[in-house]
Amino acid sequence: MIRLGVNIDHLATLRQARYRNHTNGASPEPDPVAAARLCLAAGAHSITVHLREDRRHIQDEDVLRLGRECREKLNLELAATPAMLDFALRLKPAEVCLVPENRTEVTTEGGLDAARHIESLRPVIQQLNAAGILTSLFLSPEPHQIEAASALHAHVVELHTGCFADATPAQRPATLEKLKSAAEQSHRLKIQVNAGHGLRLSNLPALLSLPHLHTLNIGHSLLSHAIIVGLDRSVRDFLAVISQK
């Protein structure tokens, strides 16, 4: 069965909207770590958080608490900077996914340009690999990017599914074909295939036609659905669709 990773960044966004400058001694809510517990209890296989340089949602203490509580199921997204690398090497989560980061974006808008930055990424990935951390690259489904991931000895590629998610019905077959080719290429190169961005209950069935999928990382849509049905039910609803594969 394809695994479900739940990204809880936007739950922290909700907290920060009220408690960004928290000083009154109350416990800021909602608590991302409590949400992670609920997601895992409902059957999610992993928890994803993006520790951004501007700390707009997830905070250092959130990640440290998650590391203490569910390190073996924690996927930490971060930019490939010295400070973030140092943080990851001290925490040693199960997985680190290297992502691009633009301070002006609302959320991650595209894949990491691994092919262009291969020389600067190489020592980062070498250190993560040496620390026993599963290393992932968040990539657009382009052949030269998958080749770069192989050259860098990344264990995993997470295919950026934004173009698929935003496609019109007429465009969708072409976006699926690109994703399929990237998944096949990654598999041939012995790289684990994950995917994420813009995935919803309505478009998941079409995406499940991709070969070699290991994990789907889903955040905003799952948390939005949870506002209506509850977090436990939302995780189970997504798992039910994924289990149809």
Nearest Cα residue to 50 out of 95, 86, 19: 95
Q: Would you say residue 20 has pLDDT above 80?
A: no
What pLDDT, on the 0 to 100 scale, is given for residue 18?
85
Residue 153 annotated among the catalytic residues of the structure: no
Nearest Cα residue to 95 out of 143, 129, 51, 59: 129
> What CATH number is given to the structural domain containing 129?
3.20.20.70
The pTM assigned to this predicted structure is: 0.93
Q: Would you say residue 197 has pLDDT above 90?
A: yes
Adjacent-strand bridge partners of 49: 76
What pLDDT, on the 0 to 100 scale, is given for residue 25?
53
Catalytic residue among 10, 50, 155, 225: 50
Residue 50 annotated among the catalytic residues of the structure: yes
The verdict on residue 240 lying in a domain is no
Catalytic residue among 10, 45, 57, 197: 197
The verdict on residue 179 lying in a domain is yes
What pLDDT, on the 0 to 100 scale, is given for residue 110?
75
The verdict on residue 196 lying in a domain is yes
Q: Would you say residue 45 has pLDDT above 60?
A: yes
Catalytic residue among 77, 101, 142, 158: 77
Q: Would you say residue 22 has pLDDT above 70?
A: no
Domain that residue 124 falls in: 3-233
For residues 194 and 17, which has the higher predicted lDDT (pLDDT)?
194
Q: Would you say residue 23 has pLDDT above 80?
A: no
Q: Do 242 and 200 form a contact (C-beta atoms < 8 A)?
A: no
Confidence band, pLDDT 50/70/90 cuts, at residue 101? confident
The verdict on residue 147 lying in a domain is yes
The verdict on residue 48 lying in a domain is yes
The verdict on residue 239 lying in a domain is no
Contacts of 231 (CB under 8 A, 6+ apart): 35, 38, 39, 42, 223
Residue 197 annotated among the catalytic residues of the structure: yes
Contacts of 177 (CB under 8 A, 6+ apart): none
Q: Would you say residue 24 has pLDDT above 60?
A: no
The verdict on residue 76 lying in a domain is yes
